[in-house]
Chains A and B, each alone.
Chain A
Amino acid sequence: MAPKIIVIDDEPIVCQMSKRVLEQEGYQVETYVDSREALERIKTTPFDVVITDLKMENISGMDILKEVNQRYPGTRVIMLTAYATLDTAIEALRERIYDFFPKPVKIEELKKAVKRALETR
């Protein structure tokens, strides 16, 4: 079974590009621009890796992170953000985040991070 990845970002371009790139690597990818819908999906379906934007309307990346950690301790979360501050980084690390990328993200880096995340599960 191909590993399952969910990408959550309110910018459609981030979802589209991540989907293309990661599908090319052989993963099964779902994307959500609405974080509320994504959260509902996560509640019913486990994923191997969650890639989420930090700052989104309604449900933030931190909310997603907490939900995932509570339900699926084995799932890795990779956070993307245009607003990388030390505070958010520290808070995210405290919540057991796997990796943290400021946007724009280099595609190679994201691919590597996902690969590492899957290997270390």
Chain B
Amino acid sequence: MPDFLRHLWQKWFKPKEELVSFAEVFEHFQALLQDHQKIMELIADLGEKSGGDYIFDRKYLIDTVNDLHALLLRLVKSLNLISGNRYVELYAALDRILLPLEAELRGRLSLTETMPYVIGFKDAPLDLPELVGGKAEALMEIHRRLQAPVPEGFIVTTRAYRRFLEYNRLDDRIHTWLESWTSGEVEAMQASRQIQYALLAGVMPPEVGREVRREAQVRPFWAVRSSAAGEDSELSFAGLHETFLQVPALGVVEVVKKVWASLYSPRALDYRRRVGLLAEEAAMAVLCQEVVASRASGVVHSLDLEAPESDCLIIYACRGLGRTVMEGKADLDRFVVERHPPFRIRTQSMAKKKSYRRVSAGGGEEEVAAPPEEWERPALELQEVQALARWAVVLERYFKRPQETEWAVDDAGRIWILQSRRLASPTAVKAPDICETCASYPILIKDLGAVAHAGVGAGPVFVVSSDQDLDRFPDGAVLVTRYTAPWLAPAVPKAAAIVAEQGSPAGHLSTIAREFRVPTLVGVENAVALLPQDQEITVDTYNRSIYLGRVSELLRYELIQSAAFEDAPEFRLLRRILKRIAPLNLTDPQDAGFTPEGCRSVHDVIRFVHEKAVEELMDLPRFLKRFKEARLWTLASEVPIGLKIWDLGGGISPEARGGQVSIEEVRSQPLKSLWEGITQPGVWSTEPVPVDFKGLMASLTRTLGEGLAAPAYTGINLAVVTENYLNLHLKLGYHYNLIDVRLEDDPNRNHIYFRFVGGVTDLTRRSRRARLLADILSRFHFKVDIKGDLVLARVLHLPREEMHRRLVAMGQLIGLTRQLDMQLKSDEDVAQFFETFVKRLEPAAGGTSPS
């Protein structure tokens, strides 16, 4: 659009910001925070119900989704009222997320016209099992979330399957045959043959065939596998559908049809009828993967179901390709391995492996005779056994069920995960008497905290206090922490359990813990002191007990016994809808994808809205231009910054008269706490700091407002307050400081946002100061982001007293760093100042900093 047109457009159609008063904007902000909190609670609620700890029905799911819908609409509306309609695209994001969710509740697969026929692994979405099928979904999840080694490839989606049916007008015919079968008119065999014949004779739609060939041509051969809706992820369709190895690139299209046809084999039909899936629309995606030239292959059962009390897993292995393993045609090596590091082998038995299968050079497979001296040599080396055992345990921990995992080892000794599904128990496993067993273990903690995700987990204690600890977090450890800060998220998938001193079941970390199904207790007082580093413990959230040692009986009971509920359609539905609700993809506000278009879940939307609402409120100068009606008080204080206070209700004593108030007349608790820090003796140095020549020149030549995201100069220091709320805008020297605080009895509502930018002197020095501020704030458990010399920090959901301490510390920090950059001449200075400040601030922060 030409510039003059854009100006006209903006002049005529710009939202009328002035229509909303300042007080109203703050009201909307408060309402927005409350709705945000309610949505977090609903998400937590849904998550909690998915843990098998509750009896619920479909009505509960429908009601909750309806509530979410209404709250989200209000939330987005509030943000647009606050921001002058700058985020109307969020309505489209809501549609994109909620419509498929509601379709899911109505029991329909929701494929839209824009979804692809064929999709590469790296582009495959994690949240659309109906598009990629269960097996591919599970593989993509473990590939991305657990970094499992999965052979590369692409997926022919269920949309391609539907297009194929439509193109060949097969829908009604299939339906008719199925009805004749279920009504008893024809045998399964006959219905199956008719449907399969129709599918195999169908013509691949040109647009689908083109895309399949384009992806297939990059390799000469492919392994082509089924990925039906529900397969592997929730229901085990083990061995029901077809797999083809070593398919030449040109043959992939025809083989895809064969895999589709296997959806209607007599066994597959019978299975779907038994599990009550026949009425649902069947659909199949097809997984095409690089062929692993296996030196050895097989399956691993993460638990020996015949002897669960032995706490062992079993690896079955053969030489060469693994097809013979699943088909039960080969004699197999069998390794019985302990389920915990260092994964010792208990027993092993070697089969006489006289021959093996391998891929043949021209495509297909061939059988090769093995030399007699190799017959009884193990198919796997010790370290391969251990690596496989580790993967089996990691996958079981992620899926929370005993797993049957198909694997391969290539010539270079690399392990590949081919698929993983639930290990079905052949017979009902007798649960041990848990009460009696547990009583013999010492209890470290009992009846403390709240359950964020129900379950049992065991491992060595690993206390995380800083980002650095995260990098060292070992697989399968119990994460013990003081705070449930969002930056802990990367450790969650690796954790066997989580114990936090602070936080609530509705917080971000709890939500993430549920996403990865990690048993989590929050609000466990003194956990860090009570749980010694490296000590093996067992966390049982059902009884809110933490035992010393590894209570294997309890872990096993949990793994086997709780498997019962998870098959119910309501649980599967809940987990499916949670995938559209709970995952948090927008974690970094600085990221280019942090936009309404980037929102892929309900959690993303509320994260985005929250961030932007705070940003709007932080931008006070823009607000001041919008609202001119305010009555301002001036704070009389020995700290001479002429702070103006705007009271929106309850922030100033009703007895206050005239234009001035003393700090005693201020009722706003966050402002009082902060002021307590600023006015501590020695904090507010008014002596001018000597400016060296370089610094002086920079201050003379630098244009105001050129800094990153620096707000325009307003000339006043302003605090907008209520009794529990503070929005403070300070301009001290050339630094801009914005602080937004909510301080209440309910920790879930509390936050401190901190933003610092600008400052006389050159960019290197300013960056040094930014680094210093970030170091100090991180030490007080703020989540800190730096961009140039802009520092953004926040801390959420701490109890009143903890918030108070941090505000006092922040007040000190503001005073002390006022002209700091002038003095930070070298990076060594930064380190030295850091020590000085931390020492000084420590008493105020009450010893909560990590050591």
A and B form one complex: yes
The reply to whether A107 and B54 contact each other, CB–CB distance below 8 Å, is: yes
**0/1 interface trace, chain A 14-51, chain B, CB 8 Å (1 if under):** 10111011001000000000000000000000000000
B55 adjacent to A14 (CB under 8 Å): yes
Whether B569 is near chain A, meaning CB under 8 Å from some CB there, is: yes
Would you call A118 an interface residue if the criterion is a C-beta within 8 Å of the partner chain's C-beta atoms?
no
Report chain B residues within 8 Å CB of A20. Answer: 564-565
**B569 lies within 8 A of A13 (CB):** yes
Write out, one digit per residue, whether chain A residues 70-84 have a CB within 8 A of any chain B CB (1) or not (0).
000000000010100
Confirm or deny: B829 has a beta carbon within 8 angstroms of a beta carbon on chain A. no
From residue B42, how far is it (CB to closest CB) to chain A in Å?
Answer: 13
By a CB distance below 8 angstroms, the chain B residues around A17 are 55, 565, 568
Residue contact A13 to B59, C-beta cutoff 8 Å = no
B775 in contact (CB, < 8 A): no
The residue in chain A whose Cβ has the minimal distance to the Cβ of B570 is A13
A14 and B565 alpha carbons, distance in the complex (Å)? 11
Whether B54 contacts A106 by the Cβ 8 Å rule is yes
Cβ–Cβ < 8 Å partners of B564 in chain A? 20
Please indicate the chain B residues that have their CB under 8 angstroms from the CB of A9 in the complex. 57
Interface residue A95 (Cβ < 8 Å from any Cβ of B): no
Judging by beta carbons under 8 Å apart, are A106 and B569 in contact?
no
Whether A67 sits at the interface, judged by CB under 8 Å, is no
Interface size class of B (residues with CB under 8 A): 10 to 19
B57 close to A110 (CB less than 8 A): no
- Closest chain-A Cβ to B450's Cβ sits at a distance in Å of 13
Contact at A13–B57, with CB atoms within 8 Å?
A: yes
| B60 closest partner in A (C-beta) | A104
Q: Is the CB of B53 within 8 A of A14?
A: no
**A11 closest partner in B (C-beta):** B57
Determine if A105 and B59 form an interchain contact, defined as CB atoms under 8 angstroms apart: no
Residues of A close to B570: CB separation below 8 A: 13
Asked if residues A11 and B58 are in contact (CB atoms below 8 Å), the reply is yes
Report the Cα distance A47→B572, complex, angstroms.
Answer: 33
- A103 close to B (CB within 8 Å): yes
Query: Which of B55, B542, B561 meets A104, CB within 8 Å?
Result: B55
Cβ–Cβ < 8 Å partners of A18 in chain B: 55
Q: How far is the CB of B573 from chain A (nearest CB, A)?
A: 10
Asked whether A13 and B53 contact (CB < 8 A) given A82-B59, A82-B60, A103-B60, the answer is no
Cβ-neighbour of B49 out of A11, A16, A21, A104 (below 8 A): A104
Instruction: Contacts A16-B568, A20-B565 given; indicate if A105 touches B55 (C-beta within 8 A).
Output: yes
B49 contacts which chain A residues (CB < 8 A)? 104
Is there contact, CB below 8 Å, between B565 and A104?
A: no
What residues of A have a CB within 8 angstroms of the CB of B53 in the complex?
Answer: 106-108
8 A Cβ contacts from B375-406 to A: none
Report which residue of A16, A104, A106 has the largest number of chain B beta carbons within 10 angstroms of its beta carbon. Answer: A104
Contact of A82 among B57, B431, B568 (CB under 8 A): B57
- Which residue of A is nearest B543, CB measured? A108
Minimum Cβ distance to chain B for residue A118 (Å): 18
Q: Which of B70-92 contact A (CB under 8 A)?
A: none
Q: How large is the interface on A (under 10, 10 to 19, 20 to 34, 35 or more residues)?
A: 10 to 19
Complex interface residues of chain A between 82 and 108 (CB less than 8 A to chain B): 82, 103-108
The reply on B167 being an interface residue by CB < 8 A is no
Judge if B9 is at the interface, Cβ distance under 8 Å: no
Classify the interface of chain A: helix, strand, loop or mixed.
Answer: helix
Chain A, Cβ-Cβ closest to B565: A17
Q: How far is the CA of A13 from the CA of B570 in the complex (A)?
A: 7
- Can you name the residue of chain A whose Cβ is closest to the Cβ of B564? A20
Contacts of A82 in B (CB 8 A): 57, 59-60, 63
Shortest distance between the CB of B317 and any CB in chain A (Å): 36
- Interface residues as binary, B301-335 with A (CB distance below 8 Å gives 1, 0 otherwise): 00000000000000000000000000000000000
B627 interfacial by beta-carbon distance below 8 Å: no
A103 engages B56 (CB within 8 Å): yes
Chain B residues near A11 (CB-CB < 8 A): 57-59
A18–B564 Cα distance when bound, in Å, is 12
Q: How far is the CA of A17 from the CA of B565 in the complex (A)?
A: 7
- Residues on the A chain within 8 Å of B60, using CB: 82, 103-104
Contacts of B565 in A (CB 8 A): 17, 20
Specify the chain B residue showing the minimal Cβ separation from A18. B55
A105 touches B568 (CB 8 A): no
Question: From residue A40, how far is it (CB to closest CB) to chain B in Å?
Answer: 24
Q: How far is the CA of A13 from the CA of B276 in the complex (A)?
A: 13
Chain B residue nearest to A10 (CB atoms) is: B57
Query: Which residues on B sit within 8 Å (CB–CB) of A106?
Result: 53-54
Chain A residues with Cβ below 8 Å from B55 are: 13-14, 17-18, 21, 80, 103-105, 107, 110
B56 contacts which chain A residues (CB < 8 A)?
13, 103-105
User: A11–B431 Cα gap in the complex (Å)?
Assistant: 28
Query: For the complex, what is the distance from the CA of A18 to the CA of B431, rounded to whole Å?
Result: 18
- A104 B54 Cβ-Cβ under 8 A: yes
Write out the residue numbers on chain B whose beta carbons fall within 8 Å of the beta carbon of A14.
55, 57
Contact string against A for B residues 562-580, beta-carbon threshold 8 Å, 1 for contact and 0 otherwise? 0011001110000000000
CB of B475, distance to nearest CB on chain A (Å): 31
Q: Taking the nearest CB of chain A, how far is it from the CB of B681, in angstroms?
A: 54
A105–chain B nearest beta-carbon distance, Å: 5
CA distance A105 to B60 in the complex (A): 11
Chain A residues near B569: list those with CB within 8 A: 13
CA distance A80 to B561 in the complex (A): 25
Min CB gap A8→B, angstroms: 14
How far does the alpha carbon of A21 sit from the alpha carbon of B52 in the complex, in Å?
Answer: 11
Verify B57–A103 contact, CB threshold 8 A. yes
The minimal Cβ–Cβ distance linking B544 to chain A, given in whole angstroms, is 11
User: Cβ of B54 and Cβ of A13 under 8 Å apart?
Assistant: no
Rounded to whole Å, the gap between the CB of B214 and the closest CB of chain A is 45
Q: Kindly list chain B residues whose C-beta atoms are within 8 Å of the C-beta of A13.
A: 55-58, 568-570
What separation, in Å, do the CA atoms of A108 and B51 have in the docked complex? 13
Residue among A9, A20, A24, A107 with most chain B CB within 10 A: A107
The residue in B55, B63, B568 that gathers the most chain A C-beta atoms within 10 A of its C-beta is: B55
Cβ of A104: which chain B residues have Cβ within 8 Å of it? 49, 54-57, 60
In the complex, A106 Cα to B48 Cα: how many Å?
10
Residues on B with beta carbons closer than 8 Å to the beta carbon of A108 = 53, 542
Report A21 CB to chain B, min CB distance, Å. 8
- Most chain B Cβ neighbours within 10 Å, of A13, A18, A106: A13
Closest chain-A Cβ to B46's Cβ sits at a distance in Å of 10
Interface residues of B in 528-563 (CB under 8 A from A): 542, 561
Going nearest first, the 8 A-B pairs with the smallest beta carbon separation are A104-B56, A11-B57, A104-B54, A17-B55, A13-B570, A105-B55, A13-B568, A104-B60
Between A and B, 26 residue pairs with Cβ closer than 8 Å are A11-B58, A11-B59, A13-B56, A13-B569, A13-B570, A14-B55, A14-B57, A16-B568, A18-B55, A20-B564, A21-B55, A24-B431, A24-B561, A80-B55, A82-B57, A82-B60, A103-B56, A103-B57, A103-B59, A104-B49, A104-B60, A105-B54, A105-B56, A106-B53, A107-B54, A110-B55
Binding site for B on A (CB under 8 A): 9, 11, 13-14, 16-18, 20-21, 24, 80, 82, 103-108, 110
Kindly list 5 other residue pairs between chains A and B, CB separation below 8 angstroms, not including A13-B56, A107-B53: A13-B55, A14-B55, A21-B55, A105-B55, A110-B55
